[in-house]
Amino acid sequence: MKILVIYGTETGNAEMVADDLVDALSQDFESSGHDMAHFDPATIATDDVLIVVCSTYGDGELPNSAQPFFQHLDSQAPDLTGVRFATFGLGDSFYETFNRGSQIIADKLATLGACEFGQRGVHDASSGELPGEIALSWLKQTLAEL
């Protein structure tokens, strides 16, 4: 089993979170980090575990780097049965469309047959908390459900 941390970002916060998660994961698992912009869903194996880290931009939209991945999912419609994934979103509760980006990706993966595990994690930029710290504590709880 491999754990692939895939991130969608506009200004780099989700990438920093993904780096922290890969560092933590690689102590116990085979794991790697991938920008969604360069990640082909066709490379996902059925026993892979995905950790999705994605921010929200515009008016509740996907950040730039997540858009090609979403389009690939849409056009290739791969069968993701057997794939498990967990979701960590970054957003700002200042916006009514809080954390919509990660939900868009999670919903799409589920539609294609992937199975979500754990509670969705979220970082709220208005909280003043550090995204990496929130994400690492979320990861611990989430791995317990794997």
Ligand X SMILES: Cc1cc2nc3c(=O)[nH]c(=O)nc-3n(C[C@H](O)[C@H](O)[C@H](O)COP(=O)(O)O)c2cc1C
Residues that bind ligand X (CB under 6 A): 9-14, 55-60, 63, 90-92, 95, 97-100, 125
Report the residue number, 9 or 31, with the smaller CB distance to ligand X: 9
Token pair 């969705």 is at which residue? 120
Please report how close the Cβ of residue 81 comes to ligand X at its closest, in angstroms: 29
| The two three-digit tokens of residue 87, written as one number | 């979701």
Shortest distance, CB of residue 143 to ligand X, whole angstroms? 22
E strands present in the chain:
2-8, 30-35, 49-55, 84-91, 115-116, 121-124
> What is the total residue count of the chain?
146
Which C-beta is closer to ligand X: that of 95 or that of 117?
95
Inter-residue contact 14 to 54 (CB < 8 Å):
yes
- Nearest distance from C-beta of residue 52 to ligand X, angstroms: 13
